[in-house]
Amino acid sequence: MRPLGPWGGVERLAVAVSGGADSLCLAVLAWRWAAGAGAGCLGLIVDHGLRDGSAAEAVETAGRLAGIGMASRILRVEGLDRGPGLAARAREARYALLAQACREAGIVDLLVGHHAGDQAETSLMRQRAGSGPDGLAAMPLVLETHDLRLLRPLLPAAPERLRATLHACGMQWIEDPSNRDPVALRSRLRSELAASDVPTREALLRGTLQAGGDRMRRRRRLAAELAEGSMLRPEGFALLPAVLPAPGALAALIRTVAGAAHLPPAGAVEDLVARSRAATLWGTRLLPAGRLGPGWLLVREADAVQAPLPAGDGVLWDGRFRLRLNAAPLPAGAMIGAAPARQAGRARTVPAAVRAGMATLIDEGGDELALPAGAGFVFEPRLPAVVDALFAMSR
């Protein structure tokens, strides 16, 4: 845990626990560390409901945590249907539940149980997919979002060590049969790596560590570039200088303004910088800043925004705006969406192109509703322009 600090004044941690050996070992170690630091430790158990007996396994895991004196909470994913992209959809739903549970508990630090074997699989998967330098860096030790730190303290540890630790503690765990499914890409890569020799696996991890260090240095340069004249505003748009930022910096801003999880195609961004004229790209729109100055506005493309969602505290709309109620009551049937420009009365100080993509409280007919006293929307894009991450530099 030391490399993930500083830890001064930490009051409570959360651990994502599936019930498998990796996350259960992490829970045991984190609980012991937290006890020594005078902090609390909460286990968050996610039941995806995709397998017969998953609810019983979640209860069983909660019992194991209670056996060491660790409090836990079971989170159940609702409405997750089988079909294409199941793994990605399950992962997104899982992390959304974990993040919401941490917010409700006032916890900033969430620990997950990825280990060196997972890192090697991720690196190999991305190599074969032709990932660029950022992808080859695989998973960071620490990933910071707006209100949460995602920590992977076991990333340097071999999975065999984790199972040995549980054996020494006399603890059992749950084996997920999907981890041995030969159809799944990760399972095939896991078998391939297990059959390889030690030098091959170590070389793969060394390359990943080097790529992580390189990515950290690139992000420092990116932060410096963005500080030289670009301004990201809380209304969800960016004000850019007359000379557009370098392609890497502009791509990061496009991802943030779009509320996207991935960067736009590099070639398309390079063309945009070279042309320096109004255009749409990756769900954003570039246009002259007009009354805001001689530069450019980068705004969300109005036609690309998400459909309205039922309003509720903490709901993230369009991957960008989160509703914070602060205990304020909502009108019945309230939704979050983009109101027609003629009704966007609460944001007259920003250009119409910006207002068209801003979050608004609306009724089921699409008419704007007044926000309750104390409530508001906060610009919290899926990824900030510069992702703050710490990478392991040694094993």
Q: Phi and psi for 268 in degrees, rounded to 5?
A: -65, -35
Of the candidates 335, 320, 324, the residue with the CA atom closest to the CA atom of residue 369: 335
Q: Which pLDDT does position 54 carry in this prediction?
A: 93
Q: Which pLDDT does position 394 carry in this prediction?
A: 30
What domains can be seen in the chain, in order of their start residue?
A: 12-216 (3.40.50.620), 229-302 (no CATH), 303-379 (no CATH)
Question: Which residue is associated with the tokens 């030098």?
Answer: 199
Q: What is the distance, to the nearest Å, from the Cα of residue 318 to the centroid of all Cα atoms in its chain?
A: 14
Please check if 20 is assigned to a binding site.
Answer: yes
Tokens of 45: 């158990």
CA distance 322 to 317: 6
Q: Which pLDDT does position 74 carry in this prediction?
A: 98
Please, what are the averages of pLDDT over each run of 10 residues along the chain (395 residues)? 77 95 97 94 94 93 97 93 84 92 94 92 85 77 85 92 96 85 80 85 83 82 87 96 94 96 92 97 97 95 96 94 90 90 59 94 92 93 74 34
Q: Which pLDDT does position 395 carry in this prediction?
A: 25
Tokens of 348: 């007259």
CA-to-CA dists, residue 49 to 9, 81, 318, angstroms = 37, 10, 26
Please check if 366 is assigned to a binding site.
Answer: no
Please check if 289 is assigned to a binding site.
Answer: no
What 3 state SS string does the chain have?
CHHHCCCCCCCEEEEEECCCHHHHHHHHHHHHHHHHCCCEEEEEEEECCCCCCHHHHHHHHHHHHHHCCCEEEEEECCCCCCCCCHHHHHHHHHHHHHHHHHHHHCCCEEECCCCHHHHHHHHHHHHHCCCCHHHHCCCCCEEECCCCEEECCCCCCCHHHHHHHHHHHCCCCCCCHHHHCCCCHHHHHHHHHHHCCHHHHHHHHHHHHHHHHHHHHHHHHHHHHHCCCCEECCCCCEEECCCCCCHHHHHHHHHHHHCCCCCCCHHHHHHHHHHCCCEEECCEEEEECHHHCCCEEEEECHHHCCCCEECCCCCEECCCEEEECCCCCCCCCCEEECCCHHHCHHHCCCCHHHHCCCCEEECCCCCECCCCCCCEEEECCCCCCCCEEECCCCC
Please check if 23 is assigned to a binding site.
Answer: yes
Torsion of CA 124, 128, 130, 133, to 10 degrees: 10
CB burial class (10 A; 0-12, 13-18, 19+) of residue 226?
buried
Please check if 22 is assigned to a binding site.
Answer: yes
Cis omega before residue 6 (within 30°)? Answer: yes
What size, in residues, is the chain? 395
Compute the radius of gyration of the chain from its Cα atoms.
23
Q: Which pLDDT does position 30 carry in this prediction?
A: 97
CA distance 122 to 117: 9
Please check if 276 is assigned to a binding site.
Answer: no
Q: Phi and psi for 206 in degrees, rounded to 5?
A: -60, -40
